[in-house]
């Protein structure tokens, strides 16, 4: 613009709405735009690299026996990750059973009863702080509470550690789902003489159910991949889960950690295969959750 103003005598006056790349500030603008878009694409590169490596290194071992056999000992061939897969399912189930009541009822409290009271602010703050709690500290807490008390590493301790990580996600996502229920629906129910408990349980919760399930799925996906809290709570086991929650139990994530540093090639290969299985489970949960919550205009 300044250029156009300083050359008033030019034969063909260029519209000041048009910009030529010859102008330094326009050129800089174009350069920065190109750089930014390039960096944006570059940022997605790690995800594709990870997925590519998982497919290249992990898919080779995929077979029914991989999912149904016990982990092999050091230096042995064959075997699979069956006990770890089952273990992950068991630990995550224990965690869900422990975390759901607290997270769900906490959300009901925040959305329906708490309002802006002091306790509600405190509960919400605690939830936020728990979201940022390093996962290994959840393990330290479960170690102190369960492992030290019972005197042994156990599936229960692992589940407890994971539950701590699930509570804030379940609570905060459920709260916003509960709050999104139109107040007209609630008022209609109140008008019919329903108590608040009835309104919550029969109107609000069923309406908000998709949102609540999304939160649960996201927290499940997060919990499933957690390793740090399991290292010294659930530990690991080379055997099948025998129905006793008081014994150490295998998990996919700890298997990956243990085998990643193994000097035996076959164990490293199993670590890749286990990663492929784990990431597939996590991504499926994430994508389902993302699709379920997508707003209509984004579809």
Which of positions 89-148 make contact with other proteins (CB under 8 A)? 101-102, 105-106, 108-110, 112-114, 119-120, 122-123, 126-130, 132-141, 143-145, 148
Cα–Cα dist 271/252, whole Å: 9
Residue 39 binds to other proteins (criterion: CB under 8 A): yes
* Count of C-beta atoms within a 10 Å radius of residue 276: 22
271 scored as a contact of other proteins (CB under 8 A): yes
Tokens of 164: 């701590």
Under rule CB under 8 A, residue 220 binds other proteins: no
Q: How many residues bind other proteins (CB under 8 A)?
A: 97
Q: Read off the DSSP letter of residue 147.
A: I
DSSP per residue over 73-96, as a string?
-TT-----SHHHHHHHHHHHHHHH
Residue 60: CB minimum distance to other proteins, A: 14
Stretch that binds other proteins, among 6-14, 64-72, 202-210, 279-287 (CB under 8 A): 279-287
Q: Does 228 bind other proteins (CB under 8 A)?
A: yes
The minimum distance between CB 286 and other proteins, in angstroms, equals: 5
Residue 183 sits in the site that holds other proteins (CB under 8 A): no
The answer to the question of residue 50 lying near other proteins (CB under 8 A) is yes
Q: Binding other proteins by CB under 8 A: which of 43, 64, 74, 151?
A: 43
CA angle (130, 135, 139) in 5-degree steps: 105
Chain centre distance of CA 137: 17
In the complex, least distance from residue 106 CB atom to other proteins, rounded to whole angstroms:
5
Q: Which of 86/205 has CB closer to other proteins?
A: 205
Judged by CB under 8 A, the residue of 235, 249, 250, 270 near other proteins is 235
CA distance 236 to 255: 8
Distance from C-alpha of 21 to C-alpha of 18, rounded to nearest angstrom = 10
Cβ atoms within 10 Å, residue 140: 15
Residue 290 binds other proteins (CB under 8 A): yes
Angle at 217 between CA 235 and CA 196, to 5 degrees: 120
Find the shortest distance in angstroms from Cβ 25 to other proteins.
6
For residue 140, the minimal CB distance to other proteins (Å) is 4
Nearest to 270 by CA among 4, 14, 81: 81
Residue 296 burial class via C-beta count within 10 angstroms: exposed 0-12, middle 13-18, buried 19 and up: exposed
Give, as one character, the DSSP assignment of residue 181.
S
Nearer to other proteins, 49 or 93 (CB): 49
Does 204 participate in binding other proteins (rule CB under 8 A)? no
Q: Does 288 bind other proteins (CB under 8 A)?
A: no
- Which of 37, 55, 59, 76 binds other proteins (CB under 8 A)? It is 37
In angstroms, the CA 44 to CA 33 distance is 17
Task: Please identify which residue in 7, 10, 26, 238 interacts with other proteins, judged by CB under 8 A.
Answer: 26
Site membership for other proteins, residue 202 (CB under 8 A): no
Q: Which residue has the tokens 């906490």?
A: 106
By the rule CB under 8 A, 157 interacts with other proteins: no
């Amino acid at each position: 613009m300044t250029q156009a103003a300083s050359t008033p005598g030019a034969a063909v006056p260029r519209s000041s709405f048009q910009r030529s790349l010859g102008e330094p500030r326009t050129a800089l603008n174009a350069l920065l735009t190109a750089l930014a878009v390039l960096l944006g694409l570059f940022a997605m590169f790690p995800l594709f690299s990870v997925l590519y490596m998982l497919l290249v290194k992990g898919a080779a071992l995929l077979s029914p026996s991989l999912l149904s056999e016990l982990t092999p000992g050091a230096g042995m061939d064959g075997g699979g990750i069956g006990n770890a897969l089952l273990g992950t399912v068991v630990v995550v189930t224990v965690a869900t059973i422990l975390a759901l009541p607290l997270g769900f009822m906490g959300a009901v409290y925040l959305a329906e009863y708490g309002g802006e009271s002091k306790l509600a602010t405190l509960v919400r703050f605690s939830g936020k702080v728990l979201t940022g709690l390093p996962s290994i500290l959840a393990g330290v807490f479960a170690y102190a509470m369960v492992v030290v008390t019972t005197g042994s590493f156990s599936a229960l301790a692992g589940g407890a550690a994971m539950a701590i990580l699930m509570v804030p996600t379940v609570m905060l996502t459920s709260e916003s789902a509960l709050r999104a229920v139109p107040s007209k629906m609630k008022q209609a129910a109140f008008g019919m003489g329903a108590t608040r408990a009835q309104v919550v349980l029969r109107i609000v919760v069923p309406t908000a159910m998709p949102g609540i399930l999304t939160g649960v799925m996201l927290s499940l996906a997060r919990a499933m991949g957690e390793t740090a809290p399991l290292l010294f709570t659930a530990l690991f086991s080379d055997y099948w889960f025998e129905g006793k929650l008081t014994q150490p139990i295998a998990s996919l994530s700890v298997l990956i950690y243990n085998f990643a540093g193994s000097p035996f090639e076959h164990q490293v290969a199993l670590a890749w295969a286990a990663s492929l299985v784990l990431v597939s489970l996590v991504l499926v949960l994430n994508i389902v959750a993302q699709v379920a919550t997508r707003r209509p205009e984004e579809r």
